[in-house]
Chain A
Amino acid sequence: MEPTHAIEHVLGPQAVHAVSYLWLIPALPLVGAAWNAILGWKLQQVLGKKIVHRVAVTAMALSFAVAVYAFVQLLGLPAHERFLQDTLWNLLTAGRLTVDLAFALDPLSMMMVLIITGIGTLIHVFSIGYMADEPAYWRFFSYLNLFVFAMLLLVMGDNFAVMFFGWEGVGLASYLLIAFWYTDPEKAKAGMKAFVVNRFGDFGFIAGLFLLFWALGGAWSPREGGGLRSTDYRPAAELNALVGATSAADAAALAPVVEGVKVGPTMNFRELRDQVVVEATGVKEHLATTTVWGVSLAMLVGILLFVGAMGKSAQLPLYVWLPDAMAGPTPVSALIHAATMVTAGVYMVARLNFLFALSASAMGWVALVGALTAIFSASIGFFQYDIKKVLAYSTVSQLGFMFIGVGVGAYWAGSYHLLTHAFFKACLFLGSGSVILGCHHEQDMRKMGGLAKHMPITRWTYLAACVAIAGFPLMNGFYSKDEILFKAFTSRHLGLFGTPTPWLGPAIYFVGIAAAIGTSFYMFRSYYMTFTGEYRGGSGHHDEHNVDPHSALAARASAHSHDVHADDGAAHAFGLAGNAPSHGAHELDEPPHASAPHAHGAAAPAHAAHAPHDDHGASHGQHGGTPHESPWTMTSVLVVLAAGSFLTLFLGIPTLWTHAAPLLEHWLEPAIPAEVAFEQAPHALEWAFQGIGVLAAAIGLLAARALYKDGRSEVPARLKARFEGIWTVVYNKYYVDEIYDALVVRPSTAFARLASRFDGGVIDGAVNFAGAIGRFLGRFDAWIDSTFVDGAVNLVASLTSAAGGGLRRLQTGRVQTYLYGALGGALAVVLLNFLIS
């Protein structure tokens, strides 16, 4: 099981093939999203819902077709040249750094793209049936396409900038979709929680990115004496000069090149990979040996980037949003929170395998967190009653497994588990969606049971997926999980905080086995509770929106067309973007709920029409609270996924059995240049571990079967009564949400209030004070003006008046006075004349 095989991957610069069609893959879903966003509402009104989903599914299908085409092209290339790049244009150039809008497909991202577009298309098809009743149909499909677009940007981006754009975009789409029925405050809160918790992770991601960029020489000037700005690493004199380039070509020309590899700060994955992998550039050694404040740089970068993965992929401290995200529609849970978005963190770690491999501490940290998450959330899943919650915690746990895989250095194994998980978890979620729909929006497993005879297809596909997740060799889950755990056991490369901890690998193995037992247990528990025994559901929980409009359409039961739903939509007062009040009656995810206020007023005919499916024919005769199978659009997807779960096992047949590298490992090899040391284990140990894995699955199955099959056993109830305290703690998710609320949320809001008071008191006070000063000065000026200025003016006026009054008396009106005046004046003139001259 050595990473190196017969295929030599040349440790040199990556060979690139330039193509020009890769942009179609994300662009098609974007077009679909924009189309539905802008025109969807109107078109839905006019032409019915089918136009909406036709556009959305077509976009997805076309994108998948292009992806398959790219895949075929990649297959045709030699292994070490499997790298397609499509550069659209230059986004920015700053100094030696260029960031392009460019897409790249190497084996790893090709796998991701196929998963996203393929399983994405299937989920779109599923949504046709599942969301048929939803008035805001167009908005749902628009958001789904938007999500796929963002996710494709994330995996296909050939540099951190595009990837981060997609990273944030999936966060946004996740928020929009979780809070799809936003008029329900609980669902809106769940959406916000997802976004905010993700934000915590993104902060770490960005911090790691900055650190990496800096370490590559981004803000660097040489100084003797070491310290933060150490000059031990001096690849070329040109790097030390501060240069400025204004165009991509100039920037490229300025960069120093070593053995064909452009050296220097970069955001491009391929360039980064080349710099690290080609040891002659010295970057690898620099990153591995530089320390930042005494801490290894590589470890710090790895841990910070992993913080981003913790947020996005719901690992231990930042997983709390994922169970709440079940408030969104089930297809959303399947697509986003099972198959694709949450795997973005795993993808990121796998993509940057060469960076993580530089630091044993980072790897150890990743693997440890993954293992702890796996066991922690598996334990919570034991006692949940909401079927979607069980699956949510299961997802968190399986993500933990994936991180164990990529943490110990088995990158292909972690990616393989990503692939298999996408299939069986999507199948499980969609199956649960089918169950929920069939039980008329009931999500509490205690009210299910005996659905095996009502919903056979769902039952068999669900069972197949349970077998997969538990880890029986019949389905693909075993192969990926086994590989991960074995590699964990044999890893010796791990460390923690700078100290090597060779015992960590085996410890993680045992934790993983325990988690696998738990996984098997709670998954089969959910299967038995849901499908076996007698149906425990009530008279059927109706949705408020089942009322009248449907009863009028019962007569048109044979019509599969969506015209039915168009009219139904029209009757729903379409103007609103989401007929949320009616959907607000959807079961919330808290199992011990006082029964939510469902409108049971609708009579049976209304209930008959409730089934918001295209297929009115087969299941239409059922009235009352009887569960029914879902329409073909939904069951066909389940079958495809289950089949996929089976077929993909052939990608990972262990070397032990075939003495050749598993197909997927071989495929992913060019993308994983990191070399990690594993201990060579004897074959017997490998066989033993495989057996232990099967045994773990079997233990879980048998325990669940014993306790929950047919719902007849008293043991669960007695155990619960006996260990009431422990049960309560685990059932309440270890009160993690409450702890976060007290530790983080309340202080934040208190700080916000404090800041608000500061703003209102101090800042506004300062502003008001300035205003008061202005007012005071104004009054002072006014006083001065009225006293002095006006006084002066008035004084002049009064002087003038007084003078006038005095001089007025000259005007006596008598001629003689004037005569005197004239004479006096004349005399004065004469005298003056006489005196002066």
Chain B
Amino acid sequence: MSDLGQTSTTTTDASTWRNGLHPVNVGHLVMGVAFAGLTIIWALYMSDTVSSHDLRWLLPIPWVAAGVAGLVAAAPRMRGQRD
């Protein structure tokens, strides 16, 4: 009995997880990467690992990385549409 119940629960959990997965949301990916990068830069700055002079070239990097991540994520979709 208990084995059966456990199996059923496990199956439900796995099913719930699968149901939540979806094709990549480019907007969320882009902003997630950008915010993650900005958080890392904040941590580096506050820990004095980088100076305020370095911020000038550091701050654009998260946005570049975010844009690249978004383009990479969107590329297969665009290719699929063309086909």
Chains A and B form a bound pair: no
